[in-house]
Structure 1
Amino acid sequence: MELKKLGNTDLQTPPIIFGGNVFGWTLNEKESFKMLDELLEQGYTCIDTADVYSRWAEGNQGGESERIIGKWMKDRGVRDKITLATKVGSDMGQGKKDISENYILEAAQESLKRLETDYIDLYYTHWDDDRTPVEETLGAYQKLIRNGDVKYIGASNLSPARLRDSLNASKEKALPKYQVFQQEYSLMNRDKIEGDILELCQENNVSISTYFSLASGFLTGKYRSKDDLEGQNRKDFVKDYLDDRGKNILKTLDEVSEEHGISNAGVALAWIINRPGITAAIASATKSSHLKAFKEATSVKLSDEDMVKLNEASSKKALQDN
């Protein structure tokens, strides 16, 4: 499997990064270990998590995903084989998002403990708190990098203005630079990357990784009516996709997947990793069979015609027409 370089770093990732939000939520510890074993065996060595994962599950406090990954890495002795990304800044019970220096420095130590490791390969600003000066945030990361706790940094969900300010501060004040930007992106949601963010990242050699790459499972094709959503964990994420545009995207996915003899999920992921400026798609799985789509996405050769059909079905114009 071809590996891709992340920004201006020595880190490499497969075209698909595994999203660890399922660990401690839809997968218990035993199931998570099984999934992690299979991922490593198949070459998916980049794992993305966050301190807040899986806090939303009943009875959880946050940090569950990190704890499971840490326990697995230690048990299997595979820390050196994993490119590990985690995040800071979400509300972990303090009642607000926080990317102040003091908070970052404390949160990083907590993540390191949960992950049972001495270092984090890629540490993300998860969410902006819209009040901390970018220089303060980057200064906190500088201390972590100098201490060996963190190798490189990334950002997620920043506005174009705050990302621009951060990149400028890195240049002008010799502060660490965000090497990867993570944002929602899929056939269902393209606007958050295409435009200012994409231009900024391309101009500054910042890699882009995408989350909600399968639109919370909608692009697998398993949710085609409201009845399909009943009793599903992702109902609230998916319900608004069941409009004419969403159905047209599924129809186009059906056509392309049938042509190549692969799944809708495989096509949807392949579309992302073949888009300009995108380094990798983040995707999760809860069953071994779901990993088949990862292999399909990294193996299939979508034609120019395939890409055009998918681009047109998911474009703004398609939204307006429907």
Structure 2
Amino acid sequence: MIGEWLASRGNRERVIIATKVSGHPAFPGLTADNITAGAERSLKRLRTDHLDVYYAHVDDPATPLEETVAAFDRLVQRGLVRHVALSNYTADRVQEWVDVAHDLGAAPPVSLQPHYNLLARTGFERDLRPVAERNDLGVLPYSGLASGFLTGKYRSAADAAGTARGALLGDYLTGAGFAVVRELEAVASELEAEPATVALAWLRSRPTVVAPIASVSAVDQLDALLASASLELTPAQDERLTTASDSFAAALT
């Protein structure tokens, strides 16, 4: 579908395309063959001659990192991939990848895609952000809206029961979690914005973050996401949200 859209619009050079390899049933893991085949199949489906960003979706400890890094680099050298990136890697493994790329003279990763939002901060801020800062990695956190919880659509645990994403909400459905949503709604009211817009604006303003990732289930939800690219919080508003988030984290311990 994306390939058809690109072809009909003729806008390939105005679009940044990223895709991943490692978790696809047909190409599991990060062997050299899987990395190459995954890229070539994506290029065919997308009707393009290059991928702007190619992610290692999840670590594959069973494959030597030297093999994986070299395979990504060969795609860069062939012009099929412009940039290498990592997703769902531990801080130690991110640094190891960077070091192996340096030793091999291979293309280094340029971005990192971790789980990070107002309700999921500790793992990234404590472990991954220092690695991103040290290696100049742009961070594109996924689950920016905490599986929809930060849109304010859930007012109680009962609201999530039986929904498509209910099982993903887990610890969010607590008094401390709903307190974060109430603070989001208060700030959103002050700014005449949607809670989702504010949640993503907070995330966008974090150190190393270049753009948060979020999705919609209906077209009419898209405007709130796009508005987050330009919304600026005041220092006081930022601090209120961060404090509510800190209280949520403390309640988990």
TM-score range, shorter chain: over 0.9
Matched residues, number: 252
Q: CA deviation at 1:231?
A: 4.2
Deviations 1:271-297 (A, max 9, x none): 000111111101112333212212431
Q: What is the rounded CA distance, in whole Å, between the counterparts of 2:25 and 2:89 in structure 1?
A: 19
- Return the letter of the residue paired with 1:319: A
Aligned to 2:250: 320
Q: Distance in 2 between matches of 1:199 and 1:303?
A: 25
Q: Hey, what does 1:160 align to over in structure 2?
A: 91
Distance 1:282 1:225 in 2: 25
Task: Give the distance between the partners of 1:177 and 1:299, measured in 2 at CA.
Answer: 30
The counterpart of 2:3, out of the listed 60, 67, 70, is 70
Question: What is the alpha-carbon distance in structure 2 between the residues aligned to residue 80 and residue 296 of structure 1?
Answer: 23
State the secondary structure of the residue aligned to 2:139: strand
Once the two structures are superposed, the pairs formed by residues 214-253 of structure 1 within 5 Å of their partners are 214-253=145-184
1:135 — aligned with what? 66
Kindly indicate whether structure 1 or structure 2 has the higher relative contact order, using CA contacts under 8 Å at least 6 residues apart: 1
Report the residue type matching 2:43 in the other structure: L
The code of the aligned residue for 2:244 comes to A
- Aligned-partner residue type, residue 312 of structure 1: T
Tell me how far apart the structure 2 counterparts of residues 84 and 251 of structure 1 sit (CA, whole Å).
35
2: CA distance, partners of 1:161 / 1:313:
30
Q: In structure 1, how many angstroms separate the alpha carbons of the residues matched to 2:77 and 2:231?
A: 42
> What SS does the aligned partner of 1:283 have?
coil
8 Å Cα contact 1:229/1:239 also seen in 2: no
Deviation of residue 133 (structure 1)?
1.9
Q: Secondary structure at the match of 1:121?
A: strand
After TM superposition, the score normalised by the length of structure 2 is 0.94
Show structure 2 runs of 5+ residues with no match. Answer: none
For 1:91-106, list aligned pairs within 5 A. 91-93=24-26, 97-106=28-37
1:268 aligns with 2:199: yes
Following TM superposition, by how much is the alpha carbon of 1:261 offset from its aligned partner in structure 2, in angstroms? 1.2
2: CA distance, partners of 1:117 / 1:145: 15
Letter in 2 for 1:292: D
Matched residue type, 1:79: R
**Aligned partners of 2:50 and 2:80 also within 8 Å:** yes
**Deviations 1:67-101 (CA, angstroms, capped at 9, x unpaired):** x211211122221211000000004156xx40111
Q: 1:1-322 residue pairs with structure 2 within 5 A?
A: 68-93=1-26, 97-315=28-246, 317-321=247-251
Shift of 1:300: 2.3
Q: TM-score by structure 1 length?
A: 0.75
Instruction: Compute the displacement of 1:167 (Å).
Output: 0.7
Residue 320 of structure 1 and its aligned partner are, at CA, apart by 2.6
Percent identical: 34
State the Cα distance separating 1:128 from its structure 2 match. Answer: 0.6
Query: How far off is 1:129 after superposition?
Result: 1.4
Runs in 1 of length 4+ with deviation above 4 angstroms? none
- 1:35-87: CA deviations, max 9, x gaps? xxxxxxxxxxxxxxxxxxxxxxxxxxxxxxxxx21121112222121100000
Q: Pick the structure with more helix per residue.
A: 2
Partner secondary structure for residue 195 of structure 1: helix
- Extract unaligned runs of 5+ from structure 1: 1-67
**1: distance between equivalents of 2:157 and 2:140?**
30
Q: 1:233-259, CA deviations, whole angstroms, 9 ceiling, x for partnerless residues?
A: 212112431112211111111111111
- For 2:112, give the aligned amino acid: F
